[in-house]
Structure 1
């Protein structure tokens, strides 16, 4: 019988971290069928304890992370900070600081570029970095709000460049929701709908607005009024899920 330990040695030293990576490695003959079977059913969820520090280090080494990954990491680090293990608590604190400093440095570089060559992609990148900083500080309300307000001021400063109804305007209104600036959000929604009356994302933003101000009945009423505008597959699936049919099925 083959030695159990030898089964789990890949030919290149590559260690798959997800089921997809395990499958790709198997198809490319990097790992054997036994190792593939093991990894395919034993990928350790990042949030599950004991934490996979090797995977955490791998993620921290990436220059950019998506918001969801940042939120997962911060959830882990916040748990570590509560532990009596000082080494883990220190690791968590240093990791949070390193993440925050990384995005601050990126913003500084992007703002410097914007001083001489402001373009839509650069400003969107700045706003995205502020979003990351807000996510890093999701459990630190003062810092989270500070970065969100910095994003708000950046949008206001460069709003002449940020005109796409979905990439820019809807994202800005969502930011106002997070800041609980509901009256300002209402004004932005009305102005946006005047310019883009058939934009799906904006209509879903209206529904979200009504939900956030607890006008729950208005959510369904409004969507039933505009459901005929919804053309995308995702939009239709959302409407179907909530039982919103309107004239589209009539």
Structure 2
């Protein structure tokens, strides 16, 4: 029976192998994206590629807490991607236009918060004009939700519930968030000789297995959706990787 430390190494290898496949998927989408929907769809895939690569590099360099900050972001990307695919719209083009509209609103908010610093008068007028056009497309209540939470109009917790990822949200988002906000002092204290608990090593190993597993699940889901949606030729590779995931378990 394999030890938990051996399982960690196998998860690292699996995530590295997944990166090799999803990077090829990203390259194919980038070379064949001619419409706005494909560009937005490909944007999610490209982000998944970059975060997966970053997580792999951080784990290879023994920086697990820093890697978990990236895992938390990858998890948020995954649930937002799920919403992008599954939220129903009256008109199919509303799906990607809503993403673009939310980007314009966010850009205007950022520019206004910095008092339009570094922007020419022409750029300032352009972004404000674009904001006015977008604002007229939505009822006031819906517009406010998009401004606050992005194109889904839902908080991260609501997105997790909508996509069926509440359990991972409670771990990945809530616990890994402290790594993003630089208040991950628990691990620091637990490494201290006088404060170390008897189950310290077991905790660290279990945490890393969970983190590496979630990394694979998030990136693999995005890769499989991209492969299926655009009928790319990576089904066999992704199926092989998924079977290896099942063999590793949780």
TM norm structure 1:
0.31
Larger RCO (CA under 8 A, 6+ residues apart): 2
Of structures 1 and 2, the larger Rg is shown by: 1
Higher helix share: 2
